[in-house]
Amino acid sequence: MKPHYTFMLAIACALAPAPGSTYARPLEIKLPQETASYKPSTLPGYHLALQNCMTCHSAQYVSTQPSTSTRAYWDATVKKMKKPFGAPLKDEDIPAIVDYLTKTYGAEQAQGTSNAAVTK
């Protein structure tokens, strides 16, 4: 046998389960219940954020963004979530989501509001 094939055969044998051994079972992981939520709003983007954004990440992610984030920042961030990350956002929903994020968490917040997510 050529040395390369002998090496490959040795690796295959080492990785093969021993006769009579059992295979590993899938590990079950139970995550804690989500405690953060988006700030309620009458803006149309609020419901769109609830429907779309939390399928990939928690609401806490949004609250960690700088409160000085501009509309351009939020627009680029939401579009980045769609492509390249693959979020199932409709193009026509993006402006409403950006408006909600900018006015609720970003640079266009009303004076005296905080950008922290509501926690239980």
- The stretches of 1-120 forming alpha helices (DSSP H) are 3-15, 44-52, 60-63, 71-82, 94-105
Which residue stretches of the chain have pLDDT < 50? 112-120
Three-class secondary structure of residue 59 per DSSP: coil
Residue 4 has a pLDDT of 61
Give 25-50 pLDDT, tens digit per residue: 788 888 777 778 899 999 999 999 99
| Domains with residue ranges and CATH for the chain | 36-111 (1.10.760.10)
Residue 46 has a pLDDT of 96
Q: In a 10 Å sphere around its CB, with 0-12 CB exposed, 13-18 middle and 19+ buried, how is residue 114 labelled? A: exposed
Assessment of whether the complete model's pTM goes beyond 0.85: no
Collect all residues with Cβ–Cβ distance below 8 Å to 104 and sequence separation of at least 6.
38, 39, 41, 43, 46, 115
